[in-house]
């Protein structure tokens, strides 16, 4: 009889351990999430667009290379492809300005958001999935060379 109790107790401990694991797994997964979520907000194309329309002042920044920017881009975006240029740009604007960043798939824009956060900007938004997700969701893109308006004298 004592032997039978030990077997039940052995299985009871295993099931208890398994139950604790099932309970803690989501908690641990949440704790292990990307700490960048505290630095900037990654939004899907719909919410990225809505937030951009709501914020004032706001800058839409394409962090892709110049040749990618000339190919297809989101309307009203400015191209700042390097960290050096990004730092120079940030010296000219207020830290309270909302900055909306995107690239091809979201990787480079997350890196840029980290740099900007370290520079003191706190109102940062990343386009989750980049311009690929933007196009997939049916949002418009501009194509071709950037047209610079000439000033009248």
pLDDT at res. 75: 93
pLDDT tens for each residue of the chain, 153 residues long: 555 555 555 566 666 566 665 665 565 555 455 565 678 999 999 999 999 999 999 999 999 999 999 999 999 999 999 989 998 998 899 999 999 999 999 999 999 999 999 999 999 999 999 999 999 999 999 987 766 655 555
- Domain co-membership, 95 together with 136: yes
| 150 lies in some domain | no
- Domain co-membership, 39 together with 96: yes
- Domain co-membership, 17 together with 63: no
Global pTM reads 0.72
| 134 lies in some domain | yes
What residues have CB less than 8 Å from 77, skipping those under 6 apart? 60, 61, 62, 69, 102
- Domain co-membership, 104 together with 42: yes
- Domain co-membership, 4 together with 59: no
Helix axes 83-90, 107-118, angle to 10 degrees: 40
| 149 lies in some domain | no
CA 79, CA 61: separation in Å to the nearest integer? Answer: 6
| 68 lies in some domain | yes
| 153 lies in some domain | no
Residue 4 belongs to domain spanning: 1-33
Cis preceding-peptide flag for 86 (omega within 30 of 0): no
- Domain co-membership, 16 together with 87: no
- Domain co-membership, 99 together with 79: yes
- Domain co-membership, 59 together with 88: yes
| 148 lies in some domain | no
- Domain co-membership, 28 together with 98: no
pLDDT at res. 31: 47
What residues have CB less than 8 Å from 72, skipping those under 6 apart? 131, 135, 141, 142, 143
| 113 lies in some domain | yes
| 151 lies in some domain | no
- Domain co-membership, 45 together with 29: no
Q: What's the structural domain count of the chain?
A: 2
């Amino acid at each position: 009889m004592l032997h039978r109790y030990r077997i039940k107790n052995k299985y009871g401990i295993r099931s208890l351990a398994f139950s604790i694991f099932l309970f803690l797994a989501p908690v641990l997964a949440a704790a292990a999430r990307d700490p960048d979520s505290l630095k900037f907000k990654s939004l899907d194309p719909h919410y990225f667009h809505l937030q951009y329309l709501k914020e004032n002042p706001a800058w839409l920044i394409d962090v892709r290379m110049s040749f990618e920017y000339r190919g297809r881009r989101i309307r009203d975006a400015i191209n700042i492809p390097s960290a050096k240029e990004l730092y120079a740009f940030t010296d000219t604007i207020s830290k309270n300005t909302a900055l909306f960043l995107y690239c091809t798939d979201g990787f480079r824009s997350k890196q840029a958001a980290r740099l900007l956060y370290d520079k003191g900007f706190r109102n940062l938004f990343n386009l989750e999935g980049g311009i690929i997700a933007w196009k997939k969701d049916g949002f418009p893109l501009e194509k071709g060379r950037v047209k610079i308006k000439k000033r009248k004298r």
